[in-house]
Amino acid sequence: MEKRFSNELITAIEKGDLENVVQFIGKGADVNDADHNGNTPLMYASMRGFTDTARFLLDNGADVNARNRQGVTPLIYACRNNQVGVLRLLVSRGADVNVPDRDGGTALTFAGKSGHLEIVRLLVEHGADLNSRDQEGDTAVMCAINGKFAGIINFLISRGADLTVMNKHNKTALDLASEKGLLRIVNDIKFRLLERQKQVS
């Protein structure tokens, strides 16, 4: 009986039907029961941006840091789908911003790829590791360079992102910016590297 309610709960969440979500939880559906991919009800609410549903699930014991079979958390789903409202809720409820998925990608590296500056800011404000790397060895600033997201690139550089890191292809942020023809970014990176060298010496 509980399993049927759990399946119906996920269906209700996918439809954005909060009324039925409340009913199924009341009838005994497990708020942390996962589907065959390991996705929990909170993950479905997070990927679709249903903030009220996510709040209700959290209020009823949903695990904010649950991971599916790929190691993806509700927070990573919110970042991958540009769901700012849910993201704010999750970090306010203690979501770990630095948990990587199975391939090493973090919320910040996904946000760097998405081009959503507000999400990047929010993650950094809540302690995201600026230099975490994805499966290619790219940091968030490298991901942003690959997408030519100047606002994110400038923000991450201003916050102290490590510009000397090499990815799995032996390329630095400067190399990637040069390849993408981002001349202003290239000049800014060169300037920052010189400034940091002066500080060390």
pLDDT computed for residue 5 by the predictor: 54
Tell me what the mean pLDDT of segment 111-122 comes to.
96
Number of domains, the chain: 1
Residue 179 falls within a domain, yes or no? no
Tell me what the mean pLDDT of segment 18-23 comes to.
95
- Report pLDDT digits (tens) over 129-186: 999 999 999 999 999 999 999 999 999 999 999 999 999 999 999 999 999 999 999 9
Q: Is the pLDDT of residue 93 over 90?
A: yes
Domain that holds residue 70: 1-96
Q: How far apart are CA 198 and CA 201, in angstroms?
A: 5
Residue 36 falls within a domain, yes or no? yes
Q: What is the CATH number of the domain that holds 4?
A: 1.25.40.20
Residue 193 falls within a domain, yes or no? no
Closest CA to 140 of 131, 127, 149: 131
Q: Among residues of the chain, what percentage have pLDDT more than 90?
A: 89
Residue 70 falls within a domain, yes or no? yes
